Structure 1
């Protein structure tokens, strides 16, 4: 190298160092002023010439993190962790990798962060991040059939977010028609807009700046909330670069008075002009204001608060929503649903990365449970600002996930639960009467009543000339059918449709009718007419009720329950073997044993008379065979009274 070239090279280094110093001072001022995007631009120039500059790497990394773009900070934190292995550098590196779903690399960074601290609170925060990564792999979709769609016709290349619907208008935040750049993110300043909407149908051609009051220039206006009665608008206003303006984002309110809305004013619920307050929403009754704030006394980052409406119409007495909802991370965009479920966005609860949408609800034990809405709603990017147009089936939310139109985009979601295949069960009940020595005959004008599994009457009619009654029933259900007619024993039977209909998943048609049949036979109710109870057996010379006899007696129990107006005589008969006295005593004991069993099943004993006839009423005189003796050994009942 010649001396001339050396001198020129040395002179270039001097000039570069001088310019770097100037750039460094400029970038540092931008960073300290919260102009993060400007600081990134400035220090990126330094890094082009000096990639190892730790201060430049740190300010670029922190600027991306503090402007909610931590996923872009990875290479800078990697450099910092390599040269300066502190807890903070490894922890934020882990968060940036997690935001890109680089879970294994993120876990390595978090483990190294733990090696560089003994602070219990910091170790607990790392463990929360690690458990969150593991937990995210098992997250199920809260609404399995909800589908999310980008509202492309509504979105622009800039940020569009925080949609709400009030009185058939969609209100939202957007950078369209912007005047100026927000230095923290490099994105245009945002304003409030509205257009007509009905449910999810939005008039994208009619979008206009908020007409209730004028958007201000040179600052962000965002995340509006409108009271249920439409008379109050609360929104977040801030990020002005004017030294005469408020130093931090705050909530402003405008009230409808007479012919229009008032000019927005600073809300007392902000409490301190140096506290960040944003993302407001009303409770369904308008009596509570929910919002996000970084005010002191929280659980870290941004927390959610609620304030109640005061007598003068302001909101005050702000209360932190507590450590179950709030975390060491950030919680924003609260939304209380009509059924008491509380929806919000968080990057502190286990999720898929950055902000995810969650729901807090109280279980049967009274404990509040926090649930991630799942990957059909959330992504590895920011997902936030949910609003329901038809709770919980449809609504809007915001996301800056990949595949969108621009920065933050507005999405709509719908419940696409498949229409269930309907199976109608049609049961034809035929009523008949039993006629001795003949086939059962059709019984007309019998009253047939249908009860469901909860013993609630769901149908009833009289059988027609063909003895038919038809009921519509549900598949896989249990029923009771009670049939009655004057002069006949009423009868109740159980009926189930379980296993009698096809599996709906195998059906092609939307509606399938299945026809089933059953028959109910009634016996004539005649005073003093003996009716033999079949299969009532006793052990030799004993009167105790056997298990098989109990089964048959249960049928008589049901007859008595179905016919509460009758009294019966229950009689026992023996064959002619053994003495008259012995047979009379044995039959009386057997009859009484049967009555005692029936009483034990809940039948009033006053409705029963036990009578032993011994061998005095033989059906077959001079019986010779065992079969003939068996005919004589029988148990009967007869109705002896019908109470009015």
Structure 2
């Protein structure tokens, strides 16, 4: 059964028939020409068993990546360097991006969200130094349309984002997505359903001209593209291979991952900007090779990527375990997998003592000590806890350390009379550290130190506020189904879920509930919509927060809710993108009114 139609239904990555577009679309869309006729793969699967591989110089292992998969879809890892990566995932019906760090080849830890100043489903991306190409698909209006953008990546934010322009985007109906830059950043591969292709979606490429602008895209040709769909291109770090997913060629089933050799002549033509030669791509790309089972399965394998050499370390997504979805296993839908090449350690042959060229005149006084690298596995987290407004040092402030991602309490300490605290933590572990104080609210920080970092002490001060701002990230017009992670003061996702933040808030309130007369919760919205509409929306969102606090044991009678709607906007920062500004505007502010 041809399963390539499965993913065409997904809003960002694939396009299906759309109505209410133009008469041309309405007439042509239902008429489907049967072009996709894949052959069944019939090779020999790779045997990953130890009994076979122990005799080989190298062998592959295949496994699921730990700590970054969830019961929802994890689509792709887009590496920013050897350890840092962007994870594309699903959240409440929308595709979003989180930055993560690979602790080991088979496990990672989330670090923060990524500020993308373009509204819509966030797609995959490709980075060359600080330049980033990314895709965004519309969530309103022209559903299914996807565009490519470029910008500058700084920290966890994309600056100066702009569309790649009309040469790349053929018209207002086409879908361009899944960018892949060459190692030198001079060639951009991407997937598109633009006309004059071989199938539903093809892989195309463009190069930069003398002015640094992208030229008219060229199809990768019949060696790469088929009458089916080709998607998710990736260029290996040495520029020698193009990896991609296809529902055509010879497949195990669904979408499989293939690799094609890129000839040196291709890079020569790129260097010389020989567009006429580049328009004959079959000379440059070899016929693709299926990466075969167990990497490819009867399900779908997508988004090949690697921080280095794809033959050594290859990441990809697959829905092969979709039927195992559960909150216990934290898997389901599409998950991230990794193929690792392991080199077998062979015994070196002993020297032939009979050889005459061996020098036996060794000075016995010379000692050849191998250099020892001391790895310190712990570090000390220190700092001072202040009152946020007066900056007064707070004694007896509680510092609670939770180990992530399992959200279990690791240690608890209190600040001394000078507001100082100190706690020893382990490296290569992500912690959530929360400081709270009597009659005030709390502040939380995410802490992580790499095992190879020689740091012995890390400073983290806390400023505990009198008024707390909850930045639960609600989708537009939604009040009872937030996105997974809360936002920071810049409108970028943190790694703290909204449930975790409300757990902390409820615990904070319950510790001093006898002193609290009332807690006032005020809902704020962005500037879109009428005054009355936003007053209602703000009230519904703040009532949602109230209901969640009551579930956590907070007495309902001390919670007072109201809505300011869009009447009290925050000051827009200089050069702040409107999308990020509106995310900051959606918030709930809390203040405590104490007895006496």
**TM-score, normalization: structure 1?**
0.42
Greater relative contact order (Cα < 8 A, sep 6+)? 2
Q: Could you say which structure has the higher strand fraction? A: 2
- Computing the radius of gyration from Cα coordinates, the structure with the larger value is 1
Q: Could you say which structure has the higher helix fraction? A: 1
